[in-house]
Structure 1
Amino acid sequence: MEITAVVPCYNEQEALGLFYEELNRVTAEMRDCEFEILFVNDGSKDRTLELMKELAEKDGRVKYISFSRNFGKEAAIYAGLEHASGDLVAIMDADLQDPPRLLPEMYRAVTEEGYDSVATRRVTRKGEPPIRSFFARMFYRLMNKMCKTEVVDGARDFRLMTRPFVDSLLSMKEYNRFSKGLFGWVGFRTKWIEFENVERVAGETKWSFWKLLLYAIDGMVAFSTMPLSVAALIGILMCVIAAISIIFIIVRQLCFGGSAFGWPSMVCIMIFIGGVQLLCMGIMGQYLAKTYLEVKNRPIYICKETNIEE
């Protein structure tokens, strides 16, 4: 049985060699499997592509795809799945935060226990800033309340999948991709393996707090329409409050007189209502923007060069 390891890379020159050595050590123990190692260069600006080519020259199992620019990890995952030739496909990061040592256990779960997918999740966030860990947990809680598709807390993109599972992912051609949600949406029988957080073996993380926040917003918009419902409810609530306030002011004016004045408070109310309106427009704008990108029907990625024979 052949396993394709899809490895998205962005500026991973420090970690790539170490990852290859560790993966080689693990694959040598799995003698009943053949391996294809598929690196996807997501527009790296360092020597990542050069190192991929060097590895490909000395190891025939190594394949690479290089993008014309940085399209993002989601596009890199899709490209890897699209070009993977193995009966089973594994997605893993090059920084060794996805431990290759788990592959034998994942392989047994698929071949012996009958699972369609084996996924991994971190049970600790050791080494992460506390504020980042807090917001990550809040994101998963919010996602699971908003979405019908379960998104497991601490889930990694590291998983081993059967060919039908991979084909189901490839059948979804959407431009705005959120893999953690797509994995759950397609269904199939999935086993979860837990492990403690592993820090990067080399280099620096490419995911800043701001990038993670935008990624979280993308996930919410991609898998839930609840923000639109919330915006509508806020609008209704504000209309009710405004109507009650108008009635109150009219009654007080008729009963006591001179109570319709107070421009500072009126300005504050107008600013508040204006802010709520802008918030609701912003929510609707997010959905409109995603729709706009989808109808353009642009390719998810553009391949500049590869050593994969078509």
Structure 2
Amino acid sequence: MKLSIVMPAYNEEESIGETVSTLTEALSKTDIPYELLVVNDNSKDKTEQRLIELKKDNPHLTYVTNPGPNGFGYAIRYGLDRFTGDCVAVMMADLSDSPEDLIKYYNTMLTEKVDCVFGSRWAKGGQVIDYPPMKKVINRVANRIIRFVMNISYNDTTNAFKLYKKEVIKGVQPILAPHFNLTIELPLKAIIRGFSYTVVPNSWTNRKYGESKLKIKEMGSRYFFILMYCFIEKYFSRGDFKVKS
């Protein structure tokens, strides 16, 4: 089963080289067939130049430039329209997600025969390193609200780092979210539409370089919109969009 990794990158010239090399090194120790698809989200720095250099020595690396509209969700959607694997993971370009966790996700998908593998940084065995205190408070409150509204037990919906089979990506269309709210749209739609999933603990490490692209003040109403959209589908659509039962 071929693994695709879709990695959005906006102004990540300092991080992208270490991220690609660390991920490639970890996967080279396995027999997992894979592609790394980096989506340059019209970066204004030297991200694209770094990708050109990295691609020369890395046959698994492909990069595309999203001409616009731009934004985290748009970049991921651009990549999800272009990956070639049987399953696809969304990973961050700042090395906050662990390659070892990705391998664990992949092996779990095979052994448990599930459609999705979701990580939880807050489950037993999970770990967060240098997580900003205020961001942690907002994260836990937001996930508690999502759990209550959607009546689910999963406690880390906002975590972008997840693995989906190709048919799940087809089954959650159309994808609406243009920004970081895509992180909750994909898993919530997968759950609502009947795809199977399991949750494994994962780790998260704060970025070494640059600053986070997530602007919490700008995202609250956008998360709320996607949450309400999924709530309406779950409770009022009478299962019209359900793919699996």
| TM-score, structure 1 normalization | 0.65
Aligned ranges for residues 204-215 of structure 1 at < 5 Å?
Answer: 204-215=211-222
Matched position secondary structure for 1:186: helix
| Structure 1: distance between partners of 2:155 and 2:226 | 13
Contact 1:116–1:189 (Cα < 8 Å) also in 2:
yes
Percent of aligned pairs sharing the same letter: 25
Matched position secondary structure for 2:161: strand
- Structure 1 residues 167 and 224, CA, compared in 2 at 3 Å: closer, same or farther? closer
> 1:49 offset after TM fit, Å?
1.3
CA-to-aligned-CA distance 1:74-124 (integer Å, 9 cap, x gap):
111111111000112111001111111112221211112211111112125
CA-to-aligned-CA distance 1:271-292 (integer Å, 9 cap, x gap):
xxxxxxxxxxxxxxxxxxxxxx
Task: Note if 1:182 corresponds to 2:191.
Answer: no
| Structure 2: distance between partners of 1:100 and 1:197 | 11
Q: Which residue of structure 2 aligns with residue 66 of structure 1? A: 65
Q: Which residue of structure 2 aligns with residue 295 of structure 1? A: none
Q: Which residue of structure 2 aligns with residue 44 of structure 1? A: 43
| Structure 2: distance between partners of 1:134 and 1:48 | 32
Aligned ranges for residues 1-310 of structure 1 at < 5 Å?
Answer: 1-31=1-31, 33-69=32-68, 71-123=70-122, 125-147=128-150, 152-153=155-156, 155-169=158-172, 171-174=173-176, 178-187=182-191, 188-224=195-231
> 1:155 offset after TM fit, Å?
4.4
Amino acid across the alignment from 2:98: P
Considering only aligned residues, what root-mean-square deviation do their CA atoms show, in Å? Answer: 2.4
Q: Structure 2, unaligned stretches of length 5 or more? A: 233-245
| Structure 2: distance between partners of 1:129 and 1:36 | 32
Matched position secondary structure for 1:185: helix
| Structure 2: distance between partners of 1:206 and 1:37 | 21
- Structure 1 residues 220 and 76, CA, compared in 2 at 3 Å: closer, same or farther? same
- Structure 1 residues 40 and 118, CA, compared in 2 at 3 Å: closer, same or farther? same
> 1:66 offset after TM fit, Å?
0.7
Contact 1:4–1:88 (Cα < 8 Å) also in 2:
yes
> 1:224 offset after TM fit, Å?
3.8
CA-to-aligned-CA distance 1:37-59 (integer Å, 9 cap, x gap):
10001121111111112222332
| Structure 1: distance between partners of 2:177 and 2:103 | 33
Contact 2:115–2:168 (Cα < 8 Å) also in 1:
yes
> 1:201 offset after TM fit, Å?
3.2
> 1:140 offset after TM fit, Å?
1.7
Give the number of the structure whose alpha-carbon radius of gyration is greater.
1
| Structure 2: distance between partners of 1:76 and 1:7 | 8
Contact 1:56–1:62 (Cα < 8 Å) also in 2:
yes
| TM-score, structure 2 normalization | 0.80
Contact 1:88–1:163 (Cα < 8 Å) also in 2:
yes
> 1:215 offset after TM fit, Å?
4.0
Q: Structure 1, unaligned stretches of length 5 or more? A: 226-310
Paired residues, what number? 223
- Structure 1 residues 94 and 36, CA, compared in 2 at 3 Å: closer, same or farther? same
- Structure 1 residues 83 and 98, CA, compared in 2 at 3 Å: closer, same or farther? same
> 1:198 offset after TM fit, Å?
1.3
| Structure 2: distance between partners of 1:220 and 1:184 | 8
Q: Which residue of structure 1 aligns with residue 241 of structure 2? A: none
Contact 1:125–1:133 (Cα < 8 Å) also in 2:
no
Contact 1:178–1:222 (Cα < 8 Å) also in 2:
no
Matched position secondary structure for 1:13: coil
